[in-house]
Amino acid sequence: MKTGDFTGCAVVLTIIALVPVVFNLLKLAWKCWRGLREFVLSEYWKVNLRTYGQWAVVTGATSGIGKAYAKQLAQRGLDVILVSRSDEKLQVVAKEIEDRYGRKTRTIRVDFTDGHSIYRAIAKELEGLEIGILERSHLPESPFTYFPLCSYVDQKITQVINCNILSVSQKSVIHLLCRGSGLIINISSEAGNRPHPLFSLYSATKIFVTYFSQCLHAEYKSKGITVQCVAPLLVSTNMTNNMKVNCFVKSASEYAREALNTVGHSSYTSGCLSHALQNMALTVLMPDWLRMSSFFIRPHILFLNAVHSELKCAQQFLLSRLEIHM
């Protein structure tokens, strides 16, 4: 074989070898650009949420991420309909929003664990209003409490499904279709990105929220409706026992502010740069085979059982102190 033939083969092989390298570099560059736009440039390049409509409906609006979203939406110029199960807390949040941001509010008291019966009442309250944004973040209980599936009673399983699945899949998109525009924000969780033993029911219901949101966005984006799925990690709320805020744990107000900035830049988001980086790290350091292994699960069961025992002892101590004072 001639020298020229060897040179030609070497060039061809070099090109073949470079193709996947160049492809992966371009893929990495695209991801970096998307991350930069989603979490950095969005701070200065915000979507005007008023273009979606006058009113925003926020569920789980009396605490945590839902309350923080309600305040952020009011601060950005929208009137807010607050939905939660405590009428007293609803009135407190409504007054706070009206006094601080000067926006109109309405309240709807419902419990999303009750199932189908509540949605007719909600629809009636929303009649005639220019609904532009629907934000859904209600939770039945803390997912960070260990509940093996066998410990759930049937009613508890139904409540979790009603809250995390049934409520998200209701025909609320019809209100937005009639106007030809709108924004739906569904709060999922990092636990919905991959299977999480010990939080099986919560994890399974949250992956429904993720997939349902992504499918709805694909179906309705051509009709002017944006469906965004937000998947946070740890946020300091009552649900997480008000964990101390640090570089890994966001406050609810800061998280809601950063997550709202991503509207128009991403239909699926971790909500903030810190959580996006943590999600990437968990994907690499905690692969599914490790997370699903007995080696990983057993120490967690022991740890969580110990925590539960301590909490039970503390509860009994407080009850005994109350009995003494009574």
Q: Which residues are catalytic?
A: 202
Residue located via tokens 């989603």: 38
What's the one-letter identity of residue 215?
C
Task: Output Rg (C-alpha) for the chain, integer angstroms.
Answer: 24
Structure tokens at 248: 């890994």
Cβ 208 vs Cβ 165: under 8 Å: yes
In 10 A of CB 221, how many CB atoms?
A: 12
C-alpha 111/C-alpha 101 separation (Å) is 27
Helix (H) or strand (E) holding 56: strand 55-59
3-class secondary structure, 283: helix
Helix (H) or strand (E) holding 109: strand 105-109
C-alpha 31/C-alpha 229 separation (Å) is 18
